[in-house]
Amino acid sequence: MPETTAVAWAEALDRVLARYDKNAESVLQACIDLQEEVHCVPPEAQVAIARALGVTTLRVKGVVSFYSFLSDTWLGEYVVYLSDNITDQMLGNRALAQRLCGRLGVEIGRVRGDGRVSVHLTSCTGLGDQGPAALINGQAVTRLGPERVDQIAQLIEARRPLAHWPGEFFRVVTNIRRSDGVFRKPVPPGEGIKACLGRGAQVTMPHTEELNPEDAGQAPLDRVSEEILKQIQASGLRGRGGAGFKTAIKLDTVRAQKGRERYVLCNADEGEPGTFKDRVLLMEYPDMVFEGMTIAALGVKATEGVIYVRGEYRFMKDHLEGALARRRQLGLLGKDILGSGLDFDVRIHWGAGAYICGMETAMCKSIEGRRGIPRRRWPLPVHQGFRKRPTLINNVETFAALATIGLNGGKWFARYGTEQSSGTKWFSVSGDVDRPGVYEYPHGVSLREVLRDSGARDAQAVMVSGASGTLVAEADFDRALAFEDLAGVGTLMVFGRQRDLFDVAWNFAHFFQHESCGLCTPCRVGTTLLVSILEKFKKGWGTQLDLEDVKLLATTMKLGAHCGLGQTAPNHLVDAITRFPHVFEGRMQTRDFTPAFDLNGALEEARQLAGRTDVAAFVPVH
Amino acid sequence: MAKTFFLDGKEIPFQDGQTILDAAMKAGEYVPHLCSSPLLDPHSSCRVCTVLVNGRPFSSCSQPAVAGQQVQSNAPEVRQLRRTIVQMMFTEGNHYCPSCEKSGNCKLQATAYYLGLHDNRFNQMFPKRGMDSSHPDVHLDRDRCILCEICVRASRALDHKGVFGAVGRGIKHELSVNSPSGTLVDSAIAPTDKAVELCPTGALQPKNRGFQVPIGERLYDREPINVVGLRQYEECVHGK
C-alpha cells in the first residue's frame, strides 16, 4: 500500500465517525463510508472503529469479513466490480472482463502492482436490463461494450477522477415499458396520508367514546390506524418481495404488540439476480415508497423507519436523501405528521454486498450494525425484530402499493388482479428479449403474454422469480404469474434456444455458494458441494451418481437449511435436471462412477520426471 | 394438567416456552443435536436436531413446543437428513478420528455412530483454516470445527470472557479469537473454561493431557451418545 493511503485512513475515519452515533449500531455504516473513501478498512482502522464505537475489534473484523464490498486490504485507486449474473454473462461480460484486465495488465481479484486498480466479479447489480453492468468506485456503469471498456482502461491509466468521466457511462435508465392501473397515476406527495387521515376522522368508533379524557388525544390516531388496517384488509395486498404474505396480518400483529417502540423497515436489498423493479420504483417514485412507509407507520404507530438499500444502489444516495429532505420540509416526515399526532422519520441504512440481508431477520441484524446472519425463526420480526422490538418489514413495491391503497382505498386496489393475488405487479424482464425493462400487469397475466410483449426471441426457458425461483420450460408458458401459480418477486430471465442451460445452472450455483451466510451446515456445505458437482459436469466427467447426489443435497437443503436461501438454492438445479435432462446427459460419462480428478493426468508430472512413457506407467482405463 | 405434544406417537409433557428438544430430552427421548446445550441459548445452526412438526421441518432446539402438535423425529426422511448433514460435516472438515485425542469423547464421532454413518459420501474438501497452538494450555484446530459456535456462546455467557467470534461468510466462515494478536496466547482463555469443555469436536482441547484414558475406554466407547446425552442433560438441568 502506498504510504499516502496508509496515512489517509486515519483522517478519513475521523470524518466518518463524526457522522454517526457512537454506538455499536454504527459499525457497518462507518465501515462502508471508510471503504468508500479510502477503499479499505485495514486492521488498524478496525481497532480504531472498535474503540470509538465501544465494541470488540473481533466484532468489526466479523463485519468487514462478511460483506462483499468491505475489504481489510487496499483495493487500489480504482475498484471495478463487474456484474456477473447470467444475463451479464449472456451479454459477454467475461470476455469484456478479460479485455479490461488485458488493457490494464491486472488479474481478476488482484490489485495491480502500482496500486492503481483492481477488477472483481460480483453478484447481479440490479441493472439486468442495461448490462453488462459494473460498479466503479461504487458508481453504477451500464451498457459495457468493447469500446467503453477500452475508454475505461484509458481513463484509469490517465488517472482521471470519476467526476470527469463521460456522464453517459453512468446513465441508468428506468425502462418502464408498460404501466397498468395501480402505478399509472403516481400518488402525489402527502395525498395518500391525507386520505387516510380523512377516513379516520369520518369514522366514529364506539369504544373511543369510553376512553379516559387524558387518552382522548390519542384517539384520532387509533381510528386512523384502524381504518388503514381495514383498507389494507379490503385490498388483499400480499408482500411483493416474493413470499406473498398478507400485509394486513403483519400490520395487525405489529399493531397489537405492547410497548411504545416499534419500527417500519423497507426492504430495498433487491439482491435476487435479474431483479431491478425496486430500483426503478426508487428512481422514479421514491415519494410513493416513503408515503407507503408513513401510512404503515400510522397503521402500527411506529416511531422510526429505516429503508435498507443494497450497496449496489449507492448511486441513488443523493436522490433518496433529497426525497427524504423534501418530505421533511413538507411536513410529511418528522413531528406530528399533518396533525396526525404521529412522530415518524425515515433514515437510510446501506448494505454492502450481501444477498442474505434481504432475509428479514438478517436485515434486522445488519441494521443493528452486525453480520447479516438470519436469526432463528421464532419469535418473528413482527414480535421481536429490529432492536428486538415489533417490526413491520415490507418490500419497496409493497410500500408503493400501500400509498395507492391509502389514496384510492382497498376496494379500488382489489379490482385488479385475481382473487388470491390482488392488484398489479411489476415485473423485471431481462435476457433474450428485444425490450428488457419493467412491466406492470394485473396479477394473473400469463407468462406467454409478458414474453410476447417484451419481444422474447425463441425462448426455450424462463427463470421465474430470480435464482431462487423456478426454471420454466416452454410447455408451461401459459401458466399465470400470480401467488396461486407461478409465485415470486416478478423476475423473468429469458433464455433463447441458442443458450446452453448448463451455464444458467452453473452461474446460479456459484451465486448461492458466494451468498450463503455460512451459519447452517446444509446451506454452507450444500451450496459448495453443488458447485463442485457442476464443475465436474463442466469437464464432462458427470455421472449418474452425481445426479443422485444433487437430489440428495437438494432434499437435505430444502428440509434442513435454516432459512429461505439454503432451502431454495437447489431449486433451479432440480428444475434443470428434471425439465432439461439433455443438458446434463451431454456432460456425463456412461459409468455409475467417475472420479472427480484425472488420475493419469495427475501422474503426468511423475512420468516426466522418471522419463517413463511405457504402458506400465499409465493407469489402465476401462 | 400439563400440556402435551406427540413425539413419534408418544405423548410428551411440556411447559410454555419450552422447546421441542428440551421437552423431549426431559421426557427421556433423545433427539440428536450438536450445536445445542441446555446451558446456552439455541443457535439452530447444525440442523442435526431437525424434526417434522405437523409435516414441516423445524430445528427442535429453537422451536417452541405447542400443545397437540405431531412431531416426527424418527421418520425415514428425518433420519436420512441427519445422516447427510453429519456426512457434510465430515466432508467439510478434517476429522481423522484415529489420530485425534478427542476420539471416544467426541460428540461428532458419537453422533455419526448413532446415526449409522458408514462413509462421508461426498468429496472431501480438505480445508486449511489453520491451527492455533500459541497457548501453553489450550489448542485450537479450526479444521476440526463444525461452526456450532458453542464456544462463542459459552465464552460469552458462562465464562464471561467473549474469547471467540465468527468471521468470514459462507464456506469461508470460521472461528476467530478476540485478542490483540488474534491468537489464543494473549486471549483470556483457560483450559478449564466452559468454552473448551463444551466443544463437541476436537477443535478446542486442553493441552498436556493426551491419552490419559486409553482409546476404547472413553465416554462414548462405553455408552452410546443417546444414553450419555440424556444423562448429561439431566445433570445439567439439575445443576442449573
Which tens digits make up the pLDDT trace of B183-229? 999 999 999 999 999 999 999 999 998 889 999 999 999 999 999 99
Residues B127 and B75 in one domain: no
pLDDT computed for residue A106 by the predictor: 98
pLDDT for the residue A140: 97
Question: How far out from the chain centre does Cα A53 lie?
Answer: 28
Alpha-carbon distance values, A363 to A41, A344, A356, A400, B187 (Å): 22, 20, 8, 20, 31
Identify whether residues B126 and B222 lie together within a single domain: yes
Residues of A within 8 A of B162 (CB-CB) are: 56
Residues A477-503 have pLDDT tens digits of: 999 999 999 999 999 999 999 999 999
Please give the pLDDT value at position A213: 43
Alpha carbon distance, N-terminus to C-terminus of chain B: 25
- CB–CB of A518 and B171 under 8 A? yes
Q: Which residues of A touch B119 (CB under 8 A)?
A: none
Which CATH number do you get for residue B14?
A: 3.10.20.740
Residue in chain B lying closest to A550 (CA): B122
The yes-or-no verdict on residue B1 having pLDDT over 70 is: no
State the amino acid at position A222 in one-letter form: D
Whether residue B34 lies inside any domain: the answer is yes
Q: The domain containing residue B53 runs over which residues?
A: 3-81
Long-range contact pairs involving A329-332 (C-beta distance under 8 Å, separation at least 24): A330/A189, A330/A190, A332/A189, A332/A190, A332/A193, A332/A290, A332/A291, A332/A294
State whether residue A463 sits within 8 Å of chain B by CB.
Answer: no
Task: Return the residue in B19, B43, B47 with the most chain A beta carbons within 10 A, the one to mutate for interface testing.
Answer: B47
Instruction: Work out the minimum CA distance from B72 to partner chain A, whole angstroms.
Output: 13
Please write the tens of the pLDDT for every residue from A227-238. Answer: 999 999 999 999
What strands lie across the sheet with B131-132, from one edge to the other? B131-132, B138-141, B204-206
Q: How far apart are CA B194 and CA B144, in angstroms?
A: 18
- What residues contact A512, with CB distance under 8 A and at least 6 apart? A467, A527, A530, A565, A569
Pick from A57, A59, A560: CB nearest B47? A560
A203-207, A234-238, A509-513, A578-582, range with the lowest pLDDT: A203-207
Searching chain B, which residue's CA lies closest to the CA of residue A597? B123
Tell me what the mean pLDDT of segment B135-142 comes to: 98
Confidence of residue A590 (pLDDT cuts 50, 70, 90): confident
Residues of B in contact with A561 (CB under 8 A): 47
B216 with B135, same domain: the answer is yes
Closest residue, chain B, to A519 (C-alpha): B45
Residue A376: band (very low, low, confident or very high) from pLDDT cuts 50, 70, 90 = confident
Residue A535 to residue A543: CA distance in whole angstroms: 12
From B81, B115, B145, the end of a domain falls on B81
- Predicted pLDDT at A598: 83
Pairing of strands A491-496, A424-431: parallel
**CA quadruple B47, B49, B52, B54: dihedral, nearest 10:** -110
Q: Which chain A residues are within 8 Å of B58, Cβ to Cβ?
A: 377
**Set of cell numbers at residue A163:** 467526476
Whether pLDDT at A373 is above 60: yes
Using an 8 Å CB-CB cutoff, list chain A residues near B167: 58, 61-62, 65-66
Query: Is residue A355 scored above 80 in pLDDT?
Result: yes
CB spacing of B44 vs A376 below 8 angstroms: yes
Residue pointed to by grid coordinates 478446542: B204
Grid cell in block for residue B179: 485478542
**Residues B74-133: tens digit of each pLDDT:** 999 999 999 999 999 999 999 999 999 999 999 999 999 999 999 999 999 999 999 999
What average pLDDT does chain A have?
94
For residues B103 and B190, state if they share a domain: yes
Nearest partner of A286 among A244, A316, A329, judged by Cα: A316
**Grid cell of B203 as nine digits:** 477443535
Take residue A479 and report the three cell numbers written for it.
Answer: 401458466
pLDDT tens digits for A68-119?
A: 999 999 999 999 999 999 999 999 999 999 999 999 999 999 999 999 999 9
Assigned C-alpha cell, B66: 405447542
Q: Is A513 on the interface with B (CB under 8 A)?
A: yes
Considering only CB atoms, B64 lies closest to which of A378, A529, A549, namely A378
Do B136 and B190 share a domain, yes or no?
Answer: yes
- Looking at residue A203, its pLDDT comes to 64
Q: Alpha helices of A247-316 — where are they, by DSSP H?
A: 247-256, 277-284, 286-300
Cβ neighbours of residue A317 under 8 Å, at least 6 residues apart? A348
B134 and B171 together in one domain: yes
Whether A62 sits inside 8 A of B165 (CB atoms) is yes
For residue B172, which residues of chain A lie inside 8 Å, CB to CB?
65, 518
* Residue A209 confidence (pLDDT): 47
Mean pLDDT confidence for A406-435: 97
Pairing state between β A304-309 and A345-350: parallel
Return the pLDDT at A32.
98
- Domain count for chain B: 2
Q: What percent of chain A has pLDDT over 70?
A: 96
Three-state SS at B72: strand
Reported ipTM: the value is 0.97
Q: Is A350 helix (H, G, I), strand (E, B) or coil?
A: strand
**Contact indicator for A466, A488 with CB cutoff of 8 Å:** yes
Q: What is the mean pLDDT of residues A389-407?
A: 97
* Burial state string for A377-397 with b = 16 or more CB within 10 A and e = fewer than 16: eeebbbebbbeebbbbbbbbb
Looking at the structure, tell me whether residues B120 and B201 fall in a common domain.
Answer: yes
Distance from CA of A444 to the nearest CA of B (A): 28
A31, A376, A567: best mutation site toward chain B, by most B Cβ within 10 Å? A376
| pLDDT number for residue A8 | 84
pLDDT of residue A12: 95
CB contact under 8 A, A562 and B89: no
pLDDT of residue A204: 52
Mean pLDDT value of segment A581-608:
86
- Note the pLDDT of residue B236: 84
pTM: 0.95
**A513/B88 CB distance under 8 A:** no
3-state secondary structure of B75: coil
- Using one digit for the tens of pLDDT, what is the confidence trace for A105-136? 999 999 999 999 999 999 999 999 999 999 99
- CA proximity to A293, closest of A414, A180, A397, A438: A397
Residues B210 and B136 in one domain: yes
Would the CB atoms of B59 and A549 count as touching at under 8 Å? no
Residues A493/A128, Cβ–Cβ less than 8 Å: yes
* Strand A263-268, strand A391-395: pairing: parallel
Residue B125 lies inside a defined structural domain of this protein: yes
Residue entry with cell 408498460: A178
Q: CB distance B167–A58 less than 8 Å?
A: yes
Grid cell at residue A1? 500500500
- How confident is the model at residue A5, as a pLDDT? 56
Query: Does the residue B196 lie in any domain?
Result: yes
Task: Yes or no: say if A535 and B98 are a contact pair by the CB < 8 Å rule.
Answer: no
Q: Which among B25, B52, B81 is the end of a domain?
A: B81
Confidence of residue A592 (pLDDT cuts 50, 70, 90): confident
- A1 has a pLDDT exceeding 60: no
Q: Is A525 on the interface with B (CB under 8 A)?
A: yes
Q: B55 lies in a domain? A: yes
Q: How far A100 CA lies from chain B's nearest CA (Å)?
A: 28
Q: Which of A398, A387, A364, A161 is nearest to A295 (CA)?
A: A398
DSSP annotation string for A511-530: HHHHH--S-SHHHHHHHHHH
Do B49 and B152 fall into the same domain?
no
The predicted structure's pLDDT at residue A68: 98
From B81, which residue of chain A is nearest by alpha-carbon distance? A556
Domain-embedded: residue B100:
yes
Flag whether B240 is in a domain. no
Question: Is B178 in contact with A56 (Cβ distance < 8 A)?
Answer: yes
Contact criterion met (CB < 8 Å) for A562 and B84: no
Same structural domain, B108 and B225 = yes
For residues B30 and B114, give the distance between their C-alpha atoms in angstroms, rounded to a whole number. Answer: 11
Q: Is A53 exposed, middle or buried (0-12, 13-18, 19+ CB in 10 A)?
A: buried
Establish if B237 belongs to a structural domain. Answer: no
Q: Are A394 and A238 in contact (CB under 8 A)?
A: no
Residue contact B45–A553, C-beta within 8 A: no
Q: Which stretches of chain B sit within 8 Å of chain A by CB? A: 42-48, 50, 57-59, 62-64, 77, 80-81, 84-85, 88-89, 91-92, 121-123, 125, 146-147, 162, 165-173, 176-178
Give the mean pLDDT of A204-219.
47
Question: Are residue B153 and residue B101 in the same domain, yes or no?
Answer: yes
* Chain B residue with minimum CA distance to A67: B169
Banded model confidence at residue A599, pLDDT cuts 50, 70, 90: confident
Distance from CA of B94 to the nearest CA of A (A): 14
Residue of A nearest to B122 (CA): A529
Q: Are B116 and B83 in contact (CB under 8 A)?
A: yes
Is B165 within 8 Å of A59 when comparing Cβ atoms? yes
| Residue B1 Cα distances to A342, B5, B7, B14, angstroms | 46, 13, 18, 10
Confidence (pLDDT) at A219: 58
At residue A6, the pLDDT reads: 56
Grid cell 458447485 in the structure block, residue: A531
Between positions 55 and 84 of A, the ones with CB within 8 A of B are 56-59, 61-62, 65-66, 68
Q: Mean per-residue pLDDT for B50-60?
A: 97
Residue B62 has pLDDT above 90, yes or no: yes
N- to C-terminal Cα distance for chain A? 54
The arithmetic mean of pLDDT across residues A562-586, rounded, is: 96
Residue type for position B24: A
For an interface test with A, give the residue of B35, B63, B84, B119 to mutate (most A CBs within 10 A). Answer: B84
Q: CB–CB of B234/B22 below 8 Å? A: no
Tell me, what CATH number does B182's domain have? 3.30.70.20
Question: Best residue in A361, A521, A531 to probe B by mutation, most B CBs within 10 Å?
Answer: A521
Q: Which of B81, B112, B135 is the last residue of a domain?
A: B81
Cell of residue A208, nine digits? 373511543
Q: Where are the alpha helices (DSSP H) in A19-126?
A: 27-38, 43-53, 57-64, 86-90, 93-104
Whether B108 and B46 map to the same domain: the answer is no
Q: What is the mean pLDDT of residues A539-552?
A: 94
